[in-house]
Structure 1
């Protein structure tokens, strides 16, 4: 199985779905968490929640730093991961989840759905075997909130 999981929330990436490397269960909803979805991404998920994608300024900061690193000869995956660290992506994305009213509302909705018994699979583009990805942070935050509420 390609992806990570908790009791009710799993995650995977688009190519894993497209190439049958991940098998969603019939009772799971594929929830895209992409700020800027492509047409083919939208066709691969049941819904997309842009508010849970990284904010545009953070995406742009990572992209700019990644391009700078690639120009210095660093490979794609290493440049992505180094850029992630250079812009303090983890802390900035967690702050977005806490401080953005839209993200807070979207997280509350997902948590309600999980508490009501719905299985969720968070989906974006990055293969986390090679690159850091915001959906793993999102899943960890959702898992933590479920545990804090006693429903994990």
Structure 2
């Protein structure tokens, strides 16, 4: 059986019909604390693949500080990633946290048996960095 396809998008693109996703694909949210409207836009959500709360909080604080110092929203968001070492810390979380390792293995297994998946969260990656691109990269290399 052929491996399933893997894509990613953001929730607003789904809500406004801007995302070009295969109709047979499962929309998998990767958000730690989804809102009701987010849940309504996806087929399922896997909170274990959202960044850990402490990393999210630290990044948000850094982003707010950067905005207060004159950065625009997108610049502050992206600069806060660098400031807190977001990517390396998130990758470490995915490698070491049992809940994340189990969730990644489940998605990898689903891809291997031919299921097509679309990872979904909040950020428009045309403007802002997002953890789902790291997830897509990890799952694509698996």
Give the TM-score normalised by structure 1.
0.90
* Residue 84 (structure 1) aligned with residue 99 (structure 2): no
Paired position in structure 1 for 2:61? 64
Question: Aligned partners of 2:21 and 2:35: how far apart in 1?
Answer: 21
**RMSD across aligned C-alpha pairs, in angstroms?**
0.8
Q: 1:46 Cα shift?
A: 0.1
Give the TM-score normalised by structure 2.
0.96
Paired position in structure 2 for 1:100? 97
Q: 5+ residue gaps in structure 1?
A: 1-6, 146-152
Q: 1:20 Cα shift?
A: 0.6
Q: 1:73 Cα shift?
A: 1.4
Tell me how many residue pairs correspond in the alignment: 139
Task: Tell me which of 57, 71, 74 is aligned to 1:74.
Answer: 71
Paired position in structure 2 for 1:3? none
Query: In the TM superposition, what whole-angstrom CA distance separates every residue of 1:28-52 from its partner, at most 9, and x where no partner exists?
Result: 0000000010110000000000000
Paired position in structure 1 for 2:13? 16
Q: 5+ residue gaps in structure 2?
A: none
Q: 1:8 Cα shift?
A: 1.1
Task: Tell me which of 43, 50, 54 is aligned to 1:53.
Answer: 50
Question: Aligned partners of 1:138 and 1:34: how far apart in 2?
Answer: 12
Paired position in structure 2 for 1:119? 116
Question: Aligned partners of 1:16 and 1:26: how far apart in 2?
Answer: 15
Paired position in structure 2 for 1:143? 140
Q: 1:27 Cα shift?
A: 1.5
Query: In the TM superposition, what whole-angstrom CA distance separates every residue of 1:91-150 from its partner, at most 9, and x where no partner exists?
Result: 0000011001000000000001000100000000000000000000000011111xxxxx
